[in-house]
Structure 1
Amino acid sequence: MLRKLSGDPECRNGTCPTLWGTEDAGDYVVQGYVITDPERLAQLDLPEGETAVVVPAAVLEEYFRARR
């Protein structure tokens, strides 16, 4: 089960970039905008089975602010 930790404060439709935590608090799941630009993907050199997403800084900033 996932637990919502923070989301985009600018979100208007409820399906925006979000930071999730796993039930055992051992991992994070990041929901964001899939990177499709071939040049950016080439820079990341992702192995098969991985992908990359863009997450607004505000999502992570909100999470770290709440943890203080």
Structure 2
Amino acid sequence: MGLPLRKLSGDPDCKNGTCPTLWATEDGKSYVVQGYVETDPERLAQLDLPEGESAVIVPAAVLEEFFRAQR
């Protein structure tokens, strides 16, 4: 089983609790980003993702909230 996750920030406009969110592993060595799966073929081609990786879209507010809290 993986390390437990700790919620760092979420979409402030979230109404249902399952919106894009930034998480950290309990040891603080990794982050997990919950977001909307990128499906646009042109964008995915630009990323050139290797097998086993995927891309998600997160509202800027999720990351901005996290960085504001770090100050």
TM-score in same-fold range (> 0.5)? yes
- CA positional deviation for 1:34: 0.2
**Deviation string, structure 1 residues 18-41 (Cα, Å, up to 9, x no partner):** 000001000100000000011110
Q: Which of 36, 39, 42 is matched with 1:39 structurally?
A: 42
Identity of aligned residues (%): 82
> Structure 1 runs of 4+ off > 4 angstroms?
none
Matched with 1:22 is 25
Corresponding residue SS for 2:65: helix
Matched with 2:67 is 64
Matched with 1:5 is 8
> What is the TM-score of this pair, normalised by structure 2?
0.94
Structure 2 unmatched ranges of 5 or more:
none
- CA positional deviation for 1:8: 0.2
Structure 1 unmatched ranges of 5 or more:
none
RMSD: 0.4
Corresponding residue SS for 1:16: coil
Q: Residue 51 of structure 2 aligns to which amino acid in structure 1?
A: E
